[in-house]
Amino acid sequence: MDPDIEKVIKAADPYRLTGTRYLHGTDHFDNTGVHNPTGAVVYPISLATTFRQKSPGVPTNVNDPNSFGVGYEYSRTGNPTRGEFERAMASAESARYCCAFASGSSAVTSVIHLLESGSNVLCIDDVYGGTQRYFRKIVSPSMNIHFSFVDFDNIDEIREKMKGSYKNTKLIWLESPTNPTLKLSDIRQIANLAHDNGAILAVDNTFCSPYFQSPLELGADIVVHSVTKYINGHSDVVSGVVCTNSLNLSDRLRFIQNGMGAVPSPFDCFLAHRGLKTLHIRMEASSRNAYAIALFLEKHEGVNKVLYPGLPSHPQHELAKRQQHGYGSMITFYCKGSRKQAAIFLEQLKVFSLAESLGAVESLAESPSLMTHASVPEEERKKLGIDDSLIRLSVGIESCSDLIKDIDNALKAAIESV
Ligand code: P1T
């Protein structure tokens, strides 16, 4: 091909060639009309709760790929719009299988239901407050499943403990980067550790999204997402998914999905699938903004410390470069002062919204110690560095200079009150 044309094609394709996959999946080019008979380019929302059967127990639509070869009976068990989203999510996460759930939290719950009573779970110590609350306050007291919250930085120490106090570990649970202190773990190394000891590794990939990190390719067995965040991306759906390459895990998860019934509505699946189609463009735009904001914050007189994997000052910057395809759009920083200054900063923001959640086109800011991680025991928060001066930013796709002006004004107001 003409090298000049080749250059122009390359420039038009800055998104790691994920665009086609996010829009059409890897096996979605359906010219047969089997699963989309009208040929509509947008897959329809199927609201029916039940499906006509040919004969008792014999469904009519076993050839529809969205029914995974079993046809449809009842919409909790299988739904065409949900199947379409699940297949698209599996492609996006380089997985063979995906099950969608009513929230990220119910995706987490469903993975825990894979475990037998008496199992041990090793969980990264800095993990989303809601996940931690579920592990500590719901599962631990009632399900005879034991959790150890650990820092995977010293992997040799953990390897040693796998022979002793962590002996019955069946599941390792990671977030990388963590919510909210953006700590990274070496996924490949931890997958090996899990497999050497008869455990599986689950990675909550919410913060990176499939665009910036592929845990299954690094050896993880399960990937979890709060779809509520980057995948949907527009602050209007609560949903979750679990992806895997293991048929055994997928079969058990689908059984749990049907048996526990925490399924997303067809409308939410439709919206989340629509969000997925622009994931690459949103991730590029928001991470570009975040990188500029992180550099700006690092030099600001109102800031004590910035945590962003893209900064050379981040303790795992080299791991971020190696393990992720980009640095993402979450930034955490310590403002000068204490709770009062953090509150003034958050109250003064005008473009950023003071709100929980993350990963949307709109920029959000929050105080983890008072909001998303308030349920984490205080002494744990202290150990993890989640103090009242810690601010978490989810950078959106507004104009970067407007975001920086907004932060600058709010930080100036906070400093004045010191
Ligand atoms: O909110 P839900 O869709 O149920 O997802 C739970 C969840 C799971 N994993 C991670 C890493 C998360 O960040 C979340 C939800 N987090 C927030 C609401 C938050 O503001 O951090």
Model confidence pLDDT, tens digit, residues 4-30: 999 998 888 878 889 989 998 876 656
User: Which residue, 280, 291, 278, 279, is CA-closest to 403?
Assistant: 291
> Per-residue pLDDT averaged across 91-104, rounded?
97
Q: Which pLDDT score, from 0 to 100, does residue 14 have? A: 79
Residue 406 and residue 352 in contact, taking contact as beta carbons nearer than 8 Å:
yes
Using the predicted structure, report yes or no on whether residue 232 has a pLDDT greater than 70.
yes
Q: Is the per-residue pLDDT at 32 higher than 70?
A: no
For 294-339, what is each residue's pLDDT tens digit? 999 999 999 999 999 999 999 999 999 999 999 999 999 999 999 9
Is 36's pLDDT higher than 80? Answer: no
The span from the CA of 409 to the CA of 400, in Å, is 14
Ligand 1 pocket, mutate which of 131, 185, 226 (most atoms under 8 A from CB) = 226
Q: What is the pLDDT of residue 34?
A: 66
Q: State mean pLDDT over 112-139.
A: 96
Overall average pLDDT of the 265-288 stretch: 97
The CA 240 to ligand 1 mean position distance, Å, reads 9
Give the N- to C-terminal CA distance of the chain in Å, as an integer.
63
Q: Are strands 222-226 and 353-354 parallel, antiparallel or unpaired?
A: unpaired
Share of the chain above pLDDT 90, in %: 86
DSSP H helices, 93-236, are 104-112, 129-133, 140-142, 155-161, 187-196, 209-212
Average per-residue pLDDT for the chain: 95
204 is catalytic: yes
The answer, yes or no, to whether any atom of ligand 1 lies below 6 A from the CB of 358, is: yes
Q: Which residue has the higher pLDDT, 34 or 252?
A: 252
What is the rounded distance in angstroms from the CA atom of residue 343 to the CA atom of residue 345?
Answer: 5
Amino acid 16: pLDDT: 82
Distance CA 218, CA 332 (A): 26
For the residues 129-147, what does the mean pLDDT come to? Answer: 96
What whole-number distance in Å separates Cα of residue 157 and Cα of residue 151? Answer: 10
Which tokens hold the place of 354?
Answer: 């003071």
Domains detected in the chain: 53-276 (3.40.640.10), 280-416 (3.90.1150.10)
| Probe target for ligand 1 pocket from 174, 228, 331, with the most ligand atoms within 8 Å of CB | 228
pLDDT at 37: 77
Residues 6+ apart with CB under 8 A from 174: 124, 152, 185, 187, 190, 201, 202, 203, 204, 220
Mean predicted confidence (pLDDT) in 157-177? 93
Catalytic residue among 82, 87, 229, 381: 229
Selection from 225, 258, 221 nearest residue 241 by Cα: 225
Residue 373: is its pLDDT beyond 80?
A: yes
Predicted pLDDT of residue 314: 98
Encode pLDDT of 181-223 as tens digits. 999 999 999 999 999 999 999 999 999 999 999 999 999 999 9
Q: How many CB atoms lie within 10 A of CB 223?
A: 27
Is 406 an active-site residue?
Answer: no
Is the model's pLDDT at 230 over the cut of 80? Answer: yes
The pLDDT score that the predictor gives to residue 417 is 85
Kindly give the residue spans of alpha helices, DSSP state H, lying in 219-365. 247-260, 266-276, 279-298, 317-323, 339-348
CB 255 within 8 A of CB 290: no
Q: What is the mean pLDDT of residues 348-358?
A: 98
pLDDT interval class at 125 (50, 70, 90)? very high
Phi, psi of 312 (to 5 degrees): -60, -25
CB-based contact 138:382 (threshold 8 Å): no
Nearest to 333 by CA among 399, 410, 225, 418: 410
| Three-class SS state of 256 | helix
Q: Cβ(126) to ligand 1 under 6 A?
A: no
Is the alpha carbon torsion for 241, 242, 245, 248 positive or negative? negative
